Amino acid sequence: MRKNIRTLKLLTWILGTGFLILLPFLIPTRMHVAVIALYYAILASSWALLAGYGGQFSFAHMAFAGIGAYTAGLIGKFIRITSAPTGACTEFSLGNWWLVIQDTASPTCLESAKATMPLGTLIIKLPPWLDITMGILVGGLFGLLIGALVLRLRRTYLALFTIAFAEILRTVINAERDVTGGPGGLKVAPLFPNGASIGNHTFSPADKLPSYFVMLALFLLVMALMYWLAGSRFGLFIRSIREDEEAAASLGVDVVRYKILLFTVTAMIAAAAGGVYAHFVRVIAPNMMVIKEMSIVIAMAVIGGMESLLGAAIGAILIEFALEQLRSNITVGPFTLNMADWRLVVFGGLLMLTLRFWGNGLIYPIIQRITRGGVGEETVAKRLQQPAANDSSSLPDAEGPESVP
Amino acid sequence: MLRNRRIWLALSLLVVILLLAACGGAQVEKVGEPTQAPTEAPTKAPEPTKAPAATEAPAEDQGPAKAPSGEPVKIGAVMPLSAPGSVTGGKAMQAAFEIAAEEINAAGGILGRPLELIMEDTEGLPERGAAVMEKLISQDQVVAVVGEYHSSVGLAEMEVAHDNHIPIVFAETWNDKITASRYPEVFRVAPLSSEVAQLDTDFIASLGVKKVVIMTENTDYGIPAAEKTTEKLKDRGIEAVTFSADPGTQDFSSIIERIKGESPELILVLLTGETSFNFEQQAAEAGIGPQDVAMICNQVAADSESFWKNVPDGNFCFYRQVGLPPVLWTDKTKAFAEKYTAKTGEATPPSYAMEAYDSLWVMVTAINNAGSTDPDAIIEALENISYEGALGTITFPVNSKNPPEKAGKEDKWWHQFPDFAAVFIQYQQKGQMSSDAPVVFPDKFKTADPILP
Amino acid sequence: MTHPSIFWYTLLWLILWGAIGALITPRVYARKDKFTHQTALLGSFIGAALGPIGLILLWIFTPQLTAKWLLGSGLIALFWLALAFAKAAPENLCVTSGSFVATQIANGLVIGSIYGLMALGLTLIFSILGIVSFAHGEFYMLGGMVTYYFTQVWFPDLSPLLGVAAAALFTFLLGALFELLFLRPMITGQIERPGEYAILVTFGLAFFLQYTTLSLVGASPKKVPRFFDYPKITVPSGTGEIIKITPGNLTFFDTISISSPRFTALIIALILLFALLYFLYKTWTGKALRAVSQDRQAAAVTGINPKRMNTLAFALGGMLAGISGASLVQVFSWVPWVGIPASSRSFVIIVLGGMGSLPGAFIGGLILGVVEALGAGCVPDPHRAAAYLPAYGMIILVLVLLLKPTGLFGREL
């Protein structure tokens, strides 16, 4: 029995992953949307971990993605490694190499230093994976600080504080245009600055396919990490905190610590997604953090099913494709509906209705039906069939499969 | 189970690290070697940017007036249609594109085939603009792109157009950097921001003021414009102080008190949309409005209906009108204005509507001249074009045959429409329509003297 | 700033001793076996105000904590900060011109009273339903939109006051409808986790209302002309006038200048404030509302129907935001997204004033108004002064959460 369930689950996972890997061959012209859909899937499912599992409502998830993106972008803009000192910029020696910062006070220092540096000096821009990693760390740091500041207080404070934090971060990035480029955006190097080659085929930096696989790999990694977390003691604790904080505390769960940990981990996941996104779209602007974007991520998670990581992810992917598809205007007789606006109205309405009538979301129940529904019936039937049988295997079955959906 | 998960975790981690490490090579530059652009070299998109074989054989036997037939030729049009973009601007451009597309199809289409105009919303977001361009090029397979309102978005779109070698004619992006990129694919019918700053300076100097406050928008349009104007004013011995605010700012009372403290003789407003209306009306209420201090309201003031509704105390506002002043309108301008009024109910088309209209017509004319939708052929035809449009005769005289070095011009003139007209107009009566308001500068178009408070 | 270092070092000094005070004082009190409640706050204030000397004295004497101590030390700390600013930027208008500062403060108070009115609605909802409405800014936006359509489009000759009344009615009904359809199930047990549900469903409502409005009315800015054109009056005429009124502006004592539509909005806000107080304290329904906010069960026992009070509270809260919007649509140009900064502001205000405290919300509004006005007025760099407007409120928020999460008048958590 147990084996069956596992095989079924494994099969679903393999099928799902296989589908995502083959997706580029099914819709080769829509790769951009596919990558963005995966980006939203990472954000929505990590938000589902934070809010659906842990009950912590943060509106700063996009802000963390923004922190990841801007850290990656700013490192690319300001930091270089050189094999000789420039003598003009702010620099630190790392043995034979120098870490050079072209700060805003001397933005062209490196250009002018080129004249004086010995011929053949190497000037290296940090590779994308390194600046994404830095972005993840910075995101985690912010998550830790905010968590430590607010998570001791009541739940509502987190929601209020994060909404304000997201706005302020956007304001600061907008206003400090010398550093961040302001509303005009910040240019970021492509994910594969020198192109990529697999076998004989060479992809140019502008090609979407390699970026798709990077985002897909990140998505799978993040899903694996989150399922592992959710299934571990940590997952148990955060669920207990969500159900009843006082009870959890009285049973010895260090409530604040686990909440902060959860907040930090999801912030880092968001920052990772933001970092890859920045390198993919190659120009980021503070508007990636507007409330509207956050609303979209929340709605994706809710419609997919807030209590299911997979549900939220699938919800995000489907909704992103649907939103892109719904852009063209609809004309009914003399009326033209400007779908650019109306699609969001439909979306907001759907969010409210889902919350009100289908608390588990629209997609999670379907997943449940596929992976578990049949099993449950089967188990019941089996038990009815052999009521006297003291088959030991029926006991664990009665508990149902993994507690993690 | 737990151990199992760990193995999975470790495995996927490994995969990711391998992937990232495989890809993310660092960009290395060697001092002394010519700055290579190797990263851009293999950029040419593998997929064909032109429609299948039929493209190559222009249907020359068909007369231009015949109804177009066959596979449509696709052209993309980009503009902001939802917030945070300037929806007012985007909607006006959309109407203009629709008018132009109807006219083109009525006049025989492109190469005898119908024009299919695919309009996309860029939301005023640079990354959205890039995404929309990718979609137009790879999914819809457009042969060319026209439009755009926001400079910041245009800068992002330009890169995609360049990467995919698709010609683009920008309609209302003023930032100098766009044409200064010298990308072969990039053309512009909008004015240059620095030239507009020059015009502003000339006008301000002609009024004889000595102290100016610039109230600008904290964007890619506002800040460079303010900086350039300040610089040019300084050359004329006029002092300028700049205040900036984010688009969307409502309450200007604190800033207005500070501006009062500077006691300016003229206020130059470089805000856009509702933000500029908020500032102008609040300034008027605080006693430094256009009736108390000379004020150059931004060009959104040209939309007189909206202006008077939002700034009822805005009498004596000066504003800059880009595009031909009504006295110089060509037949084409008049015809377009008529259609525009019929379509939208607005009295006069704003400059960005005219630019959008012309950008599409220029592109279509170039494709017809080229006789093919091959990008290189279109670009060559654009460089040689001389098209009578709503903005006047559109040409791109600084081009690959006459590069900026040879023409003795700066890079920003590359593929730039040089002869755009811009005039200063003043509302001299409350509630006046912008088409009735007199031109006060420059002298050759002048219909009345400026009234200073 | 001519000598920025003076200001920044002073700020650093204040923060340093404030932090030390906040960390150590509770321990000292605990060691001496004294009541440690809020001693961290006191320690940080004393540390910032009087530095090490004050702290040592505090630790030696460990006085009983009273509001006077807090207020006194807080004011002294502010004084140091202001002094440092004056020394650092002697040419700044905030330092050289008294009338400039007076006008900024007056403007801040005027706009702050309207923020306060709006936050009052939010705090009212919180005190009865125990939820924060994330759609509060959208009610504010709708109030302005309805007033515009009533007085400008549908009935062009309608008195603006009737427009405000229409906005009030509309937002009241909308609030009631939403409460009945979406929030009522929370108390009847149809929703699994009401707290989380409330956050999300009001957030969804905000999104829905904003985009519905955008789709219906478009994005072009709208504005209602001044509700009242004041006559030109100068009292007394000649020099040294006390009040000078022009159609657009009011000048008091020749120094403080307030634009007239803002003044009208202030009057509307004050009238409403008093009407609300009268309602809450003098009418049966109002008393019932307050009773429910204090103790649901006990109120239910005395025959008050808490469910109906929920509906009423949400509708009233929405209406207060709607009226704030309606009274400001003659001051600002109106677009469908004006609600976003407004709701952020309301959140800051209710945390500052204390969640659920009615006087706290109003006073919090005034404080935020003044801080924003002075921030935009005094920050020396003209590029950043206005760009950082939303940040000033945020600084308050962080300070409150760090020092006194219950806010000025909040109930203990």
B 162-181 residues with CB below 8 A of A? 163-164
Cβ count near B447 (within 10 Å): 13
Q: What is the DSSP string of C344-363?
A: HHHHHHHHHH-TT-HHHHHH
C6 reaches B (C-beta below 8 A): no
Q: How far apart are the first and last CA of chain C?
A: 42
Based on the domain organization, do C39 and C152 belong to the same domain? no
Please identify among residues 17-56 of chain B the ones whose CB lies closer than 8 Å to any CB of chain A: 19-32, 38-40, 42-45
> How many Å lie between the alpha carbon of C112 and the closest alpha carbon of chain B?
12
**In terms of Cα–Cα distance, which of C333, C338, C308, C306 is closest to C321?**
C338
Q: Is residue C250 a part of any domain in this protein?
A: no
Chain B, nearest residue to C248 by Cα: B285
For B94, name the nearest residue in chain A, comparing CA atoms only: A338
CB A184 to CB B246 under 8 A?
A: no
Among B130, B157, B146, which residue's Cα sits nearest to residue B188? B146
Computed over every residue of chain A, the mean pLDDT equals: 79
Q: Is residue C247 part of a domain?
A: no
Give the count of domains, chain C. 2
- State whether B130 and A128 contact (CB < 8 Å): no
- Residue C344 within any structural domain of the chain: yes
Last residue of a domain, one of C33, C58, C91: C91
Residue type, C207: F
Cα separation, A241 vs A254, in Å, equals: 9
Q: How far, CA to CA in Å, does C102 sit from each of B13, B169, C283, C362, C374?
A: 62, 52, 39, 21, 10
Q: Is residue C253 in some structural domain?
A: no
Is B194-322+422-445 a CATH 3.40.50.620 domain? no
Angle at which helices B351-370 and B331-344 pack, to 10 degrees? 120
Mean pLDDT (whole number) for C240-259: 75
List, as one string, the DSSP characters of B190-252.
SPPHHHHHHHHHHHHHHHT-SEEEEEEESSTTHHHHHHHHHHHHHHTT-EEEEEEE-TT----
Separation CA B10–CA B8 (nearest Å): 5
Mean pLDDT of C330-338: 88
Cβ-defined contact of B152 to A185 (cutoff 8 Å): yes
Report yes or no on C248 lying in a domain: no
Which fold would CATH assign to domain A2-78+128-366?
Answer: ABC transporter involved in vitamin B12 uptake, BtuC (1.10.3470)
Whether residue A356 and residue C185 make contact (CB cut-off 8 A), yes or no, is: yes
Which of these ranges, A113-127, A173-187, B30-44, C216-230, has the smallest mean pLDDT?
A: B30-44
pLDDT in tens, chain B (453 residues): 444 455 555 555 555 555 555 445 566 766 665 544 443 333 333 443 333 433 333 444 444 456 677 788 889 999 988 767 777 788 888 889 988 988 888 888 888 888 888 888 888 887 788 888 888 888 788 999 999 988 888 888 888 888 888 999 998 888 888 888 888 889 998 888 888 888 888 888 888 888 999 998 887 778 888 888 998 899 888 888 888 888 778 888 888 888 888 888 899 998 888 888 989 988 888 888 888 888 998 877 777 778 888 888 888 888 888 877 777 778 888 888 888 888 877 777 888 888 899 899 889 888 888 888 888 888 888 888 888 888 888 888 888 888 888 877 888 888 888 887 788 888 888 888 877 788 888 887 778 888 887
Last residue of a domain, one of C91, C124, C159: C91
Q: Mutation target for C interface from B79, B88, B244, B251: give the one with most C CBs within 10 A.
A: B251
C383 touches chain A (CB under 8 A): yes
pLDDT at B52: 40
What's the pLDDT tens digit per position in A372-385? Answer: 655 555 555 666 66
User: Is there a contact between A172 and C391 if contact means CB atoms under 8 Å apart?
Assistant: yes
Least CB–CB distance from B273: residue in C104, C221, C336: C221
Close Cβ partners of B37 (under 8 Å, ≥ 6 residues apart)? none
Q: Among residues A230, A245, A222, A252, which one has the least CA distance to residue A56? A: A245
Measured at the alpha carbon of residue A227, what is the angle toward residues A225 and A232, in degrees to the nearest 5? Answer: 95
**Alpha carbon distance C300, C280 (integer Å):** 18
Helix, strand, coil shares of chain C as percentages rounded to 5?
70, 5, 25
Domain spans of chain A, in order of start = 2-78+128-366, 84-121
C39/C182 same-domain check: no
Q: Alpha carbon of A355 to those of A51, A350, B295, C205: distances in Å?
A: 14, 8, 51, 11
Question: pTM of this prediction?
Answer: 0.84
Per-residue pLDDT, B285:
85
List the one residue out of B88, B83, B58, B85 whose CA is nearest residue B70. Answer: B58
Of A107 and B427, more confident: B427
Distance CA C398, CA C413 (A): 18
Whether A98 has a pLDDT exceeding 60, the answer reads yes
DSSP 8-class letter at B406: H
Residue C15 to chain B, least CA–CA distance (Å)? 28
Residues of C in contact with A341 (CB under 8 A): 211, 214-215
- Rg, chain A, Cα only: 24
Contact predicate A335/C165, CB 8 Å: no
Tell me the C-alpha distance between B220 and B211, whole Å.
Answer: 25
Any A CB within 8 A of B65 CB:
no
Please give the torsion angle defined by the CA atoms of residues C222, C228, C229 and C231, in that order, rounded to the nearest 10 degrees.
-170
Is C388 in Cβ contact with A161 (below 8 Å)? no
Question: CA of B299 to nearest chain A CA: how many angstroms apart?
Answer: 21
| Residues C326 and C370 grouped into a single domain | yes
Interface test with B, best of A287, A292, A341 (most B CBs within 10 A): A287
Q: Do C249 and B306 touch (CB under 8 A)?
A: no
Give the integer Cα–Cα distance in Å for B252 and C111.
11
What pLDDT is recorded for position A4?
67
As a whole number of angstroms, the distance between CA A36 and CA A276 comes to: 10
Q: Is there a domain that residue C249 lies in?
A: no
Nearest to A84 by CA among A102, A97, A71, A69: A97
The domain locations on chain B are 69-192+333-413, 194-322+422-445
Answer whether C204 sits within 8 Å of A172, measured CB to CB.
Answer: no
Structural contact between residues C77 and C287, judged by C-beta atoms closer than 8 angstroms = no
**Burial annotation A148-179 (CB, 10 A radius, 16+ → b, else e):** ebbbebebbbbbbbbbbbbbbbbbbbbbbbeb
User: Using a CB-CB distance cutoff of 8 angstroms, which residues of chain C are in contact with residue B276?
Assistant: none
Spatial distance between the Cα atoms of C74 and C20, rounded to a whole number of angstroms:
16
Contact between B220 and A182 using a beta-carbon 8 Å cutoff: yes
User: Is C412 domain-assigned?
Assistant: no
CB nearest A214 (choices: B23, B125, B139): B23
Q: Specify whether C57 is located in the same domain as C174.
A: no
* Phi then psi dihedrals of residue C35, to 5 deg: -60, 120
Domain B69-192+333-413 is of which CATH architecture?
Answer: 3-Layer(aba) Sandwich (3.40)
The reported pLDDT for the residue numbered A20 is 81
CB spacing of C377 vs B258 below 8 angstroms: yes
Other C-beta atoms lying within 10 Å of the C-beta of residue B430: 12
Distance CA A259, CA A50 (A): 9
Cβ of B28 within 8 Å of Cβ of A123? The answer is yes
Per the listing, tokens 């940090």 go with A126
CA distance A97 to A84: 7
CA distance A163 to chain C (A): 7
End-to-end CA distance of chain B: 82
Contact C347 A163 (CB under 8 A): yes
Residues in C 162-181 with any Cβ partner in A closer than 8 A: 181
In the 8-state DSSP scheme, what is residue B416?
B
φ/ψ of A145, rounded to 5, equals -65, -50
Distance CA A121, CA B14 (A): 34
If you search the block for the tokens 């279509």, which residue do you land on? B364
Q: Name chain A contacts of B126, Cβ cutoff 8 Å.
A: 184-185, 283-285
Same domain, C186 and C333: yes
How many Å apart are CA A285 and CA B129, to the nearest integer? 11
Pairing of strands A90-94, A97-101: antiparallel
pLDDT band at A390 (very low <50, low <70, confident <90, very high): very low
Pairwise CB contact (< 8 Å): B26 & A127? yes
Interface mutation target, options C140, C145, C220, C330, chain B, most CBs of B under 10 Å: C220
The per-residue pLDDT for A396 is 40
What's C360's domain CATH number? 1.10.3470
What residue of B is the nearest CA neighbor of A84? B31
Residue C71 and residue C217 share a domain? no
Domain boundary among C57, C73, C91: C91
Contact status of A51 with chain C (Cβ, < 8 Å): yes
Strands (E), B51-185: 73-79, 115-121, 144-147, 168-170
Of the candidates B25, B31, B220, the beta carbon closest to that of A194 is on B25
Same domain, C55 and C195: no
- Its domain, for residue C40, covers 4-91
Q: What is the model's pLDDT at position B15?
A: 52
Whether residues C208 and C308 fall in one domain: yes
Residues in chain C with CB shorter than 8 Å from the CB of A342 are 211, 215
Residue C315, pLDDT score: 92
Distance CA A157, CA A138 (A): 23
Answer whether residue C162 is part of any domain.
Answer: yes
CA angle, C326 then C332 then C338, to 5°: 75
Together in a domain, C185 and C323: yes
Amino acid residing at A116: T
Looking at the partner chain, which of C204, C398, C413 has a beta carbon nearest the beta carbon of A154? C413
Q: What is the pLDDT of residues C345-400, one digit of tens each?
A: 888 898 888 888 888 888 999 999 999 888 888 888 877 777 788 788 888 888 88
CA distance C321 to C277: 16
pLDDT, tens digit, 9 for 90 and up, residues A277-329:
988 888 888 888 888 888 888 888 888 888 888 888 888 888 888 887 776 66
The tokens for C270 are 């004050």
H or E element in which residue A17 lies:
helix A2-26
A161 contacts C207? CB cut-off 8 A: no
Please give, rounded to a whole number of angstroms, the shortest distance from the CA of C284 to a CA of chain A: 31
Mutate which: A158, A295, A297, A329, vs C, most C CBs within 10 A: A295
Q: Are B135 and B124 in contact (CB under 8 A)?
A: no
Number of Cα atoms under 13 Å in the Cβ half of residue A70? 26
pLDDT at A389: 45
- Reported residue count of chain B is 453
pLDDT at A24 over 50: yes
Contact A182 B21 (CB under 8 A): no
